[in-house]
Structure 1
């Protein structure tokens, strides 16, 4: 296995998917649920993200070409979806029972598009395309697997924080998550628009 390629892909995905940065957002979206539900959300989010990333790693370019969807369009649409979720967190709508009990936030927005967002998808598509031979392919897929384990650990052990900060802290964390998520969404939309302009 090519360890240098493994390290390069892992570090790139670590920066893009940002396990430490996902912690406040996960806490904001999982607040108000039972501990066992929160634990399930942690592995579900990581599993969904891995499934999406793996799918695009195997057939990403073909999927985008078939749908006639450009990467900038993927970035803008993902950013808009994240912005809607961020507004819910900021206004407190995510605290309502129908939101916290019935909607599985582990799937959307955590799994996709927050973790498995356009940046991670494009990175994986390019890494898989550029990998020559079994050793490099193994390095790329090992890096993808390891980063998702790291993401799961970050979310899983962030639940300890909930027990410490209690309900008031969770509300504060939810608002903080909303602000962070809004900033991420706006940046993603801006990157998509910039890419559109450069491609024109």
Structure 2
């Protein structure tokens, strides 16, 4: 399997474009079509920027700040847990849009840590380290990263069509379900973080 194919499949599995749809709808469903469409492009753009940054200098950044992947997982998990609680309680969700209208959800939590999360960052850093200075390897990784983000743009952009079908009640229901899923993802990230710290201590 080529480097390009491996990285594309790995990132698609980790970033899970279809799985982002309910969370995306729950966060932007109550907003204007212009804001929703802009968010569908901004979130993958932010993710692309973050992942590209870590692809170029991920090891240096983490080493300089003395941060490990478990710390990234813990921070991402806590941030997602806060968003999940907002969706489950209705504050900042579709049932109470005023609470979050001044917040660009395309940046946080959509762009990062949902899309450009600890898993995707770690996968890219590992892929770059395995390229062993090969120019073709680096090109394949860069192309794979761009390909995955094009897929994300397409999926999120066309997911806004569902909003017309679901209506306000449907979006509220999606927000509750997405909140539950997001809480589970957050707890799993925190659990992985704890496991990582335990393994590092041995």
Q: Deviations over 1:99-132 (max 9, x none)?
A: 3321110000000111000000010011112114
Q: How many residues align?
A: 198
Distance, in Å, in 2 between the alignment partners of 1:99 and 1:8 is 41
Aligned to 1:88: 86
- Contact 1:30/1:100 (8 A) holds in 2: no
Q: Tell me by how many angstroms 1:193 deviates.
A: 0.5
Residue-by-residue CA offset, 1:33-58 (whole Å, 9 max, x unaligned) = 00011000110000000000000000
Paired residue for 1:151? Answer: 152
Is there any run of 5+ residues in structure 2 with no aligned partner, and where? none
Please show how residues 1-200 of structure 1 align to structure 2 within 5 Å.
4-95=2-93, 96-132=96-132, 133-200=134-201
Q: Normalised by the size of structure 1, how large is the TM-score?
A: 0.96
Segments of structure 1 that go 5 or more residues without pairing to the other structure are none
CA RMSD of aligned residues (A): 1.0
Q: Which has the higher helix share?
A: 1
Q: Where do 4+ consecutive residues of structure 1 move more than 6 Å?
A: none
SS of corresponding position for 2:100? helix
